[in-house]
A = this chain, B = another copy of it.
Amino acid sequence: MSNEANLSDVSDVLAIDSLLSAGELAVRERVRDFTNQRIRPGIAGWYDDAVFPLDLAPELGELGVLGMHLEGYGCPGRSAVEYGLAAMELEAGDSGIRTFVSVQGSLAMTAIHKWGSEDQKQEWLPRMAAGELIGAFALTEPTAGSDPASMKTFARRDGSADTAGWVLDGAKRWIGLASVADVLVVWAMTEDGVRGFLVPAGTPGVTATPIGQKLSMRASIQCDITFDAVRLGPEALLPAARGLRGPFSCLNEARYGIAWGAMGAARDSYEAALAYAQERLQFGKPLAGYQLTQEKLVNMLLEIQKGTLLALHLGRLKDAGRLRPEQISLGKLNNVREALSIAREARTILGGNGITLDYSPLRHAANLESVRTYEGTDEVHTLVLGQHLTGIPAFR
């Protein structure tokens, strides 16, 4: 591993590590070890077989990365930068694993932590932080990926009393982990606007079907869900969330982690390409000695360093309580876009061997196709920022 350490030192051209505290470096080291020991050995097989390694959940809980940035209720309570570093290391393993951590922590647990009742928090959060229970976050619908305001899933009051429960009908799509989740955070339109509900696994009328034949994030699960006259008690409602601000605040948490995570996938792609280029001979010389290869490596590394600097800047702002949505949009847009481009470029250095799961770049590139789409496509974030800069909305 001394080799890897050196590689990292050389490649950290900007000495970004010098901006991290000893505590932060320790968190990163611990997650990096986990990735090396628990993700790397199995990922090719999981990906090829299209299975999510569910038994990693309690291990990730023990590692302290589930609801990592939340306080209390058994949550680790780490800083935003520490959470970001963890996301980066996990996604250096695989975007699908990082996605599970995001869905569990940034989406489902954050929703409960932020908008739930004391009872709801007590019931769910400790065991979710431990990875004993899995959560999902059901917002996106089949016909409106980028426009949650047009949501069609509807929850109507089940009776007229204030204590009445709800009847839920509708459909969701691309819901991570839904088929294995113990609880779904479901966002639905009501007569009073969008509200959130906690729907335990096994509630009659709920059907979650994993989406098959995927070309991306195969070591992960995304589902179609249908809600067919699902009866929920009044205690299912997340009391504090009203309107789209509820789910959107969770999405911003997730996007923040993505900005870090994507750079992990990028760095791993770069390192795989560099290692290959140094070993592989062509015309008797290592590939790494050719100008065309060095140009690729330099441009990759340069964007990784810029993206990491950006992620760290966002993290510092977040820890200072000053992170704004348009900053997250910028981070997500840039870092995923650049990571995808880096993974693709890294793959070209691997020649024919690059198309197998023996090497990570093409897998990362495939994964990042999902990452670039979820939590806001390039176009959505571009127009969010466009409105911020010009004051004029151009979405329609």
Interface residues of A (CB under 8 A from B): 10-11, 13-15, 18, 44, 47-48, 140, 143-147, 150, 173-174, 211-217, 274, 277-278, 281-286, 288-292, 294-295, 297-299, 301-302, 305-306, 309-310, 313-314, 317, 322, 324, 326-327, 330, 333-334, 344, 347-348, 351-352, 354-358, 362-363, 366, 369-370, 372-374, 377-379, 382-383, 385-392, 394-396
**CA–CA, A212 to B356, complex, Å?**
7
A390 with B289: in contact, given A282-B146, A309-B313, A356-B213 (CB under 8 Å)? Answer: yes
A396 with B285: in contact, given A322-B15, A386-B297 (CB under 8 Å)? Answer: yes
**CA–CA, A298 to B356, complex, Å?**
30
Contact between B373 and A278, CB atoms less than 8 A apart: no
Residues of B within 8 A of A309 (CB): 306, 309-310, 313
Closest CB of chain B to A318's CB: distance in Å?
Answer: 12
A292 with B295: in contact, given A283-B396, A352-B373, A354-B373 (CB under 8 Å)? Answer: yes
Which of A47, A387, A389 has the most chain B CB atoms inside 10 A of its CB?
A: A389
Which of A14, A347, A374 has the most chain B CB atoms inside 10 A of its CB?
A: A14
Q: Which residue of B lies closest to A10 (CB)?
A: B389
Contact between A394 and B290, CB atoms less than 8 A apart: yes
> Of B313, B344, B363, B394, which is within 8 A of A14 by CB?
B313
**CA–CA, A306 to B109, complex, Å?**
32
Contact between A355 and B216, CB atoms less than 8 A apart: yes
Contact between B395 and A333, CB atoms less than 8 A apart: no
Contact between A389 and B14, CB atoms less than 8 A apart: no
Contact between A301 and B385, CB atoms less than 8 A apart: yes
Contact between A322 and B18, CB atoms less than 8 A apart: yes
Closest CB of chain B to A47's CB: distance in Å?
Answer: 8
